[in-house]
Amino acid sequence: MTADPLDIFLTFTRLGLVSFGGANLPEIERVLVDQKHWITPQVLANGFALGQVMPGPNMLAMTHYGFAAGGWPGALAATLGFYGPTALLSALAILAWQRLSRWRWLPAVRSALLPFGAGVMLAGVLVLTRGSLHSWTGVLIAAAAFALLQGTRVNAAVVVIGAAALGALIGL
C-alpha cells in the first residue's frame, strides 16, 4: 500500500495547520488511521514513542507515518507538508507581531485558544492509551515514567529508552 505523495503532502499539511500546542493526536488518528487507513494504531503509538528518543522535535513521528503511508517519497512528503507551511506561517507571524501586540482582541484569542489546546492534549492522551497500553504491565510502565519525570530531573529520552529495554526484557 503506497499512497500518492501529493495526497500525503496535502494531508500532512492540513494536519500541521490544525496542530496547536504541538501534536494533534486525535486528528492524526482520525485521518491517518480511520479515514485513510495509512497506519494502524500500533504504528501510531510506535512512531510517537520513536519520536520521543529522536534528537529535535518529538513530532518527527510524522516522518515515520509518512514512510508507512508511502515509503521514502511518503516520508519526504509528510515531513515537508507537516513542517513547511507551519514554519512559514510562524515566520510571517513574528514579523507581524509588532502590530498584533497592540490588538485589543489578542488576550481574548489567547484565552480562547488555551482551553482548546488543553482539550486536544487530553484527547491525545486517550489516543495514545488506546494505541499503546495492552496490558497492566504497560499501565505500570506509563505510570512509573510519569512519576519519574514529575519527581526527578531525569531526561525523557532516558526514561523512554529504559522502558524499551524493560519491555524487551519482560516480553511486553
Partner 1 sequence: MSAPSSPLTTTAPPAPPPQPPTPASLLRLFMGVALVGIGGGLPAHTRRALNTRGWMTDAEFAEAFTLAQLTPGPNAVNLAAMIGARLSGQAGALLAVVGILTPGLIVMLAVTAFTLGVPGGLPGPLQSALRGAAAAALGVMLTAALPVLKVTAGIRGGPVLAGATFLALAWLHLDLLLVLAGVLTVGLVVHRPRSGE
Residues in 26-45 at the binding interface with partner 1, rule: CB under 8 A: 26-27, 30, 34, 43, 45
Query: Interface residues for partner 1 in 102-161 (CB under 8 A)?
Result: 104-105, 107-129, 131-134, 138-139, 141-150, 155-161
Nearer to partner 1, 6 or 42 (CB): 42
How far apart CA 61 and CA 70 sit, in angstroms, is 14
Contacts with partner 1 by CB under 8 A: the residue count is 110
> What minimum distance in Å lies between the beta carbon of 104 and partner 1?
4
Q: 110-149 burial by CB neighbour count: b if 16+ within 10 A, else e?
A: eeeeeeeeeebbeebeebbeebbeeeeeeeebbeebeeee
Total Cβ atoms within 10 A of residue 67: 20
Identify whether the C-beta of residue 62 lies closer than 8 Å to the C-beta of residue 77: no
Binders of partner 1 among 57-96, rule CB under 8 A? 57-60, 63-64, 67-68, 72, 75, 79, 82-83, 85-95
The least CB distance from residue 36 to partner 1, in Å, is: 15
Options 55, 99, 102, 152; binder of partner 1; rule CB under 8 A: 55
How far, in Å, CA of 109 to CA of 120, rounded?
17
| Residue with Cβ nearer partner 1 (7 or 162) | 162
Contact flag: residue 54 with partner 1 (CB under 8 A): yes
CB 6, min distance to partner 1, A: 20
Toward partner 1, which CB reaches closer, 5 or 131?
131
